[in-house]
Structure 1
Amino acid sequence: MQITNTSKTAKTYTQEEAFLASLKYFKGDDLAARVWVNKYALKDSDGNIYEGTPDDMHRRIAKEIARVEKKYPNPMSEDEVFELIRDFKYIVPQGSPMAGIGNPYQIASLSNCFVIGNDGVSDSYGGIMKTDQEQVQLMKRRGGVGHDLSHIRPKGSPVKNSALTSTGIVPFMERFSNSTREVAQDGRRGALMLSISINHPDSEDFIDAKMEQGKVTGANVSVRIDDDFMRSVASGDPYVQKYPIQSEDPKYTREIDAGKLWGKIVHNAWQSAEPGILFWDTISRESVPDCYADLGYKTVSTNPCGEIPLCPYDSCRLLAINLFSYVKDPFTDKASFDFELFKKHVAYAQRIMDDIIDLELEKIDAILAKIEADPESDEVKHVEKNLWLNIRKKAHEGRRTGIGITAEGDMLAGLGYRYGTEKANEFSVTVHKTIALEAYRASVHTAKERGPFAIFDAEREKDNPFILRLREADEKLYYEMLEFGRRNIALLTIAPTGTTSLMTQTTSGIEPVFLPVYKRRRKVNPNDKDVRVDFVDEVGDSWEEYMVFHHRFKQWMEVNGIDADKNYSQTELDELIKRSPYYKATSNDVDWLSKVHLQGSVQQWVDHSISVTINLPNNVSEELVGQLYLEAWKAGCKGVTVYRDGSRSGVLISSDETKGEKEEEENRSSFPTKRPQVLETDVVRFQNNKEKWIAFIGLIDGKPYEIFTGLADDEDGILLPRWVEHGRIIKNRNEDGTSRYDFQYKNKRGYKTTIEGLSHKFNPEFWNYAKLISSTLRHEMPIDRVVNLINSLQLDNESINTWKNGVARALKRYVPDGTEAKGQKCSNCNSPDLMYQEGCLTCKNCGSSKCG
């Protein structure tokens, strides 16, 4: 592997210097600048930054791509590659390739995502521990990981150990989830997808696992649904689950009501946006790599966002093409799409992706060399070494690529189409069909120069539906593929582009614009000259509010001679939006069925899958969610995710914030200030240092009303059995007239068990502080402010401080996702733009996350 930029005399930049230089590069877009500096600028483990702007990064990438090109006929030059990738205009390597290509300071993979295998893996503890270790080893090298749990025997199955029967799926979901949360990756958490077949007898437990507060928070979960199950839902016929799944001679079978289980899936998705659904027969039937299933390419799960179904130990690297850049004269009557340039660039993108596989193989060799050099024994290193050998084999043998797109929403707007309309959908399908044909054509031409992927066999693929569509669309391409083969086993995807779209300054992936205009705040000194104070927060800090225009909406304004620097009223903004091509074309505006049909139609030209979300308003029914899922199956989608507004809060807010705050005030539930006699209660366990603690959180309408926390008495179980997670707190009176709080729960036989006098179980000082904090909850102080209040308490007693930290940690779980953490700064980039996400503080600028 070639090492670059290692000279001790190489120019370095401070964080501020790199930020200011990239701020100028991004024309004042501070969010794009901070994301680039924190996530993608070349830096060493001491924090030295070696790139001042993305131009430096693109030159680094171009140099490495050109080095690989020289190995093959008709190589592209460094300057040619640079012109294709510079300014994020045309071709954009995503995530791991962007950060890792030519990076000598980090021994990490260039793959964005991996699937590890249950192919031949037993469900013994040894097999499960092996999977757990493989997951961690990949995450520490920047990879997102997916794996399937369908091979684990169902709950109650006999086992030949001291337990006698299996615990089933859920405990292992927790194990894998916790491992993900433990792996810090430069300030961010790992990404994990857990899946299970609907055919598995524990699938209902899997579906319900994340509905419990604080459970399986480190993983996305999806259910693999087969066509037989969907037909049973439609017909009302029973459905048979079995273990092993799909076995001709199963050890266990169970007949279930498919409609009832379907209702559970729909309800949970409506309530929490999970589980996602994978239409598994569609995935398997359409998958080109599954033509080689007997050679180890049987698809078993997907990456964390669902856009890359993979076989065990395969991986994929991602690249996006910026569709907006091919719109000539955007937002005018002369707007058109430059298909000739687009076709040319798709071919270049596929070639660059193939070069990146060579670079990945070098990275894997470096990882293997690092493992060999590590001082641990061969026994300790065995799993990690074999993992990377397996990944190397798949990358070398199949040479899988992941070409995708970004800016679909902006492309359509620039051409004058409204996202979601029939004409817009038709044009999108034309674009994606073009990508498929030109990428496959480029893979065939590359095979002619460089040779096909090692196991290519046209006879195996002749009946594959995707290959047959290519043949029908372009027979010349098909017969060229028969003659020369193809360089890559599978080529295409549509991934969420996240931070990539921040740097391309476009809409993300295939999605429409989220909001064309939104509002942000910056803190100001009210005594400064010419400062405008629009908002004073609860601690007295002054803030100026300002509008942020989506970049292409602002471009539309400029093209049409509209002043983008004016301070518009809400009424004026509403009128502007109505005049624009983004009107009725935001995430929450687009017709839901239209989006499903768009996804299904585009999926016909994507050989992997598509990451797309159907956004629904809060008041939609569960029945509608079920209808959308059914339509997605019928339309040929490989997977679908539905997000109902409020089920998991987003980050951006509408510019019409005053109206939103008024509605929030009107909708706020009125907590009784006098405590009800009985409260439903969550039980939360956690560790402070090495001590085990427990919290009882009384709830009204699912929101904390009171909290009592103290040391858990694990020695004799006097406080509570470990399996209890819910119950009721009942306020009673002692014989002397004083009040007491009893906790009641149902034991495993369903009988009620009561622990009397929680107040006597905890330290009296803990109890008194708990009552004080509970009073703030009862008067509906927002949970994030209660957490801030607790953190600000100045307490001399060390044990009380430990208690204080525990209370804050327990309550953070109930802070709504997307809540801004005011008055705090990111420890990684010093940004004040922090928000709560699953009880953790996450920085909107650099993406770092801090839990606990």
Structure 2
Amino acid sequence: IDEEQVQLMKRRGGVGHDLSHIRPKGTPVKNSALTSTGLVPFMERYSNSTREVAQDGRRGALMLSVSIKHPDSEAFVDAKMTEGKVTGANVSVRIDDEFMRCATEGKPYRQQYPVDSAEPDTVKDVDARAFWNKIIHNAWKSAEPGVLFWDTITRESVADCYADLGFRTISTNPCGEIPLCPYDSCRLLAINLFSYVRNPFTPEADFDFDLFALHVAKAQRIMDDIIDLEAEKIDKIIDKIASDPETQEVKGPELHLWHKIRTKTLQGRRTGVGTTAEGDMLAALGYRYGTPEATRFSEKVHRALALAAYGSSVDMAAERGAFEIFDADREKDNPYIGRLREADPAMYERMVRHGRRNIACLTIAPTGTTSLMTRTTSGIEPVFMPVYKRRRKVNPSDPEVRVDFVDDTGDAFEEYVVYHPKFIDWMKVNGIPVKDDYTQEELDAIVARSPYAGATANDVDWLEKVRMQGRIQKWVDHSISVTINLPNDVSEEMVNNLYVEAWKSGCKGCTVYRDGSRAGVLVSLEKKKPAGKPEAPALSGPKQIIKRPIELDADVVRFQNN
């Protein structure tokens, strides 16, 4: 597994591992060690591999998950609480409905290994509520672990209708938006929702659903074309490896890996059509993010997206052929397919007749870099702040970069302060000058007049945001990558309420970030000013960090350390 991970990461691939197959700590093994070391050493091994395989200062991305049913899952949950441990991976715990019921009702929960066995080798009962409280505390303190509501994921997964044919979901990609079977890929395309708002930030603003449906259908077709382009690139990788001078013993594992990826790519033709700019779309239409009215409109948009994307996939099946293992009978009882059938019976009948080109079609990714290109909010998130400071990871050895911040793991970042672009659009529509020398109080007054007031990441009704995610999730066949941003003083009880509400609302996963709980990428502007000092402009640039000299005076001390 470790070798396959580094082979993928050397080609800039992200990786997800589920560790539920690893023996719990202390169980007998048939070698000289006598007992297993458990999950945590493997977490560190895979994390270290991620950090070792770097691309010009940009390391790979890794997701580690484990079933809550695994006897070592508590050690897994605690692994990142030690500073400097497992810094090269995100971690999420797969939680089933039985555990959630036991935790909320105060009942014991049975763990076992193997986790899916009818006759397990190892069994132990744990206090579900105490374990749940530990998950909540750790998420509150360090933003991890995330939670994956696994029964919801597999129950709603269209691809899992073909679990016995190799499409059983085992983990997720590094950001969690696509639960995947072994050797399948995360392919993403994001549609800018703000671009379909006519007359934004005016009383005449409305959403062009006809143009949106047309573009979604084209986007699904583009993604299907990308699958064939990906297969061509995989063929080139395979040909290159095959022609390398190394022996078959050396290059065989990498060849085998890429053949498995190619097979899964063409067999399922999985795509990830999604959206970005949800927050800006709602603001441009006059909705306040996190209100019931905004949630209802968002659900309407994503319902239209699902019907257009699946309709396009059915049309392509009639033209190009369905994915090779399509079977309408396997899918007939799937809840997601049932909602599509109810919403558009004619499209469903065409799907039964012609098949579908893609085993699954939709997701909503974080779209961090994409949203910088579109100059919008990301994914389904609200605006972080209309004015904010951003950190960009840099290579400290590059003479062209400025290092303003170094996190606990030694990664270097450059900081810069920006206006949110669509907030500037609103200012211009309303005749408000865009300047760099507003005081914080002046900016606060301007923001209070805007549709972004009370709708920033820290200001929204967090429970309503979770309900919104659940409502949208009903029309997304994969998952939604969302982080609930919380202020530093939020209570652990609120984190508990959010996670429980996410489970009840039908979310497939949830993660939180409490301001200041770890070295983040986005940070809010500091409002506090030293007493007695004159008020400075709110948007003064970040300070230049003094570069460390090449040489420093030092004392050399020799001693015997035994």
Same fold (TM over 0.5): yes
Residues 1:658 and 1:248: Cα distance change in structure 2 (over 3 Å): closer
Cα distance, 1:574 vs. partner?
A: 1.4
Looking at structure 1, the residues matched to 208 and 129 of structure 2 have their Cα atoms a distance apart, in angstroms, of 48
Q: How much does 1:615 deviate?
A: 1.2
Q: What does 1:116-127 align with in structure 2 at a 5 Å threshold?
A: none
Give the drift of 1:475. 0.4
User: Residue 146 of structure 1 aligns with which residue?
Assistant: 16
Cα pair distance change 1:660/1:263, threshold 3 Å: farther
Structure with max Cα Rg: 1
**Identity fraction in percent:** 70
1:269 aligns with 2:139: yes
User: What TM-score does the superposition give when structure 1 sets the normalisation length?
Assistant: 0.60
Which 5+ residue runs of structure 1 have no aligned equivalent? 1-130, 522-544, 663-783, 802-852
Letter in 1 for 2:189: L
- Structure 2 partner of 1:371: 241
CA deviation after TM superposition for structure 1 residue 660, in Å: 6.2
Q: 1:661 to 1:134 in 2, by over 3 A?
A: farther
Question: 2:507 aligned with 1:507, yes or no?
Answer: no
Give the superposition deviation at 1:547.
6.6
Q: Which moved more, 1:564-573 or 1:466-475?
A: 564-573
TM-superposed deviation, 1:322: 0.5
Shift of 1:187: 2.5
Asked if 1:394 corresponds to 2:264, the answer is yes
Cα 1:661–1:171 change in 2 (3 A) is farther
Residue of structure 1 in register with 2:152 after alignment:
282
Are 1:359 and 2:229 an aligned pair?
yes
In the alignment, what sits opposite 1:794?
552
Task: Note if 1:319 corresponds to 2:189.
Answer: yes
Does residue 454 of structure 1 match 2:324?
yes
What residue identity is the alignment partner of 1:576? Answer: I
Residues 547 and 624 of structure 1: CA distance in aligned 2, closer, same or farther (over 3 Å):
closer
- Where does residue 624 of structure 1 map in the other structure? 494
Work out the CA distance in 2 between the residues paired with 1:796 and 1:232.
Answer: 60
Quickly say closer, same or farther: Cα 1:450–1:185, change in 2 above 3 A: same
Residue 348 of structure 2: aligned partner: 478
Cα distance in structure 1, aligned partners of 2:2 and 2:169: 20
The one-letter code of the counterpart of 1:243 is: Y
Which position in structure 2 is the counterpart of 1:216? 86
Q: Which residue of 2 aligns with 1:34?
A: none
- AA of the residue aligned to 1:622: E
RCO comparison, higher one (Cα < 8 Å, 6+): 2
User: 1:791: Cα distance to partner?
Assistant: 6.1
Distance 1:251 1:566 in 2: 65
For 2:198, which of 328, 331, 338 is the aligned residue?
A: 328
Q: Which residue of 2 aligns with 1:467?
A: 337
Asked if structure 1 preserves the Cα contact closer than 8 Å seen for 2:221 and 2:316, the reply is yes
RMSD in angstroms over aligned alpha carbons? Answer: 2.1
How many angstroms does 1:233 deviate by? 0.7
- TM-score (normalizing by structure 2): 0.90
Structure 1 residues 573-582 or 188-197, which shifts more? 573-582
CA contact (8 A) 2:440 2:527 kept: no
How far did residue 789 of structure 1 move? 9.1
* Alpha-carbon distance in structure 1 between the residues aligned to 2:240 and 2:470: 44
Q: Map Cα deviations across residues 796-844 of structure 1 (whole Å, 9 max, x no partner).
A: 77x789xxxxxxxxxxxxxxxxxxxxxxxxxxxxxxxxxxxxxxxxxxx
Q: CA-to-partner distance for each residue in 1:173-207, whole Å, 9 max, x for gaps?
A: 10000000001123201100000000000000100
Aligned to 1:609: 479
CA distance in structure 1 between the partners assigned to 2:307 and 2:522 by the alignment: 37
Aligned AA for 1:244?
A: P
Matched, 1:549 2:307: no
Q: CA deviation at 1:373?
A: 1.2
The reply to whether residue 489 of structure 1 matches residue 359 of structure 2 is yes
* Aligned-partner Cα distance in 2 for 1:581–1:386: 53
What is aligned with 2:98? 228
1:659 to 528, 537, 543: 528
Does structure 1 residue 173 correspond to structure 2 residue 55?
no
Contact 2:483 2:511 in 1 (8 A): yes
2:219 aligns with 349
CA–CA distance in structure 1, aligned partners of residues 161 and 524 of structure 2: 48
1:21-60 counterparts in 2 under 5 A?
Answer: none
Aligned positions, number: 524
> Which residue of the partner structure matches residue 75 of structure 1?
none
Deviations 1:759-779 (A, max 9, x none): xxxxxxxxxxxxxxxxxxxxx
Deviation at 1:453, TM superposition (A): 0.3
Cα offset, 1:564, TM superposition: 1.4
How far off is 1:546 after superposition? 9.8
Query: Corresponding residue for 2:280?
Result: 410
Q: What's the secondary structure of 1:293's corresponding residue? A: helix
Worse-matched range after superposition: 395-404 or 621-630 = 621-630
Tell me: CA distance 1:394–1:415, structure 2 relative to 1, closer, same or farther (3 Å). Answer: same
Give the C-alpha shift of residue 618 in structure 1: 1.2
Other-structure match for 2:535: none
CA change 1:789–1:548 in 2 (3 A) is: closer
SS in structure 1 at match of 2:528? helix
Q: In the alignment, residue 232 of structure 1 is paired with which amino acid?
A: C
* CA drift at 1:652: 4.1
Encode CA deviations 1:705-745: one digit per residue, 9 max, x unaligned.
Answer: xxxxxxxxxxxxxxxxxxxxxxxxxxxxxxxxxxxxxxxxx
DSSP-derived class of the 1:298 partner: coil
Write the letter of the residue equivalent to 1:364.
Answer: I
Q: Any idea what SS the aligned residue of 2:81 has?
A: coil
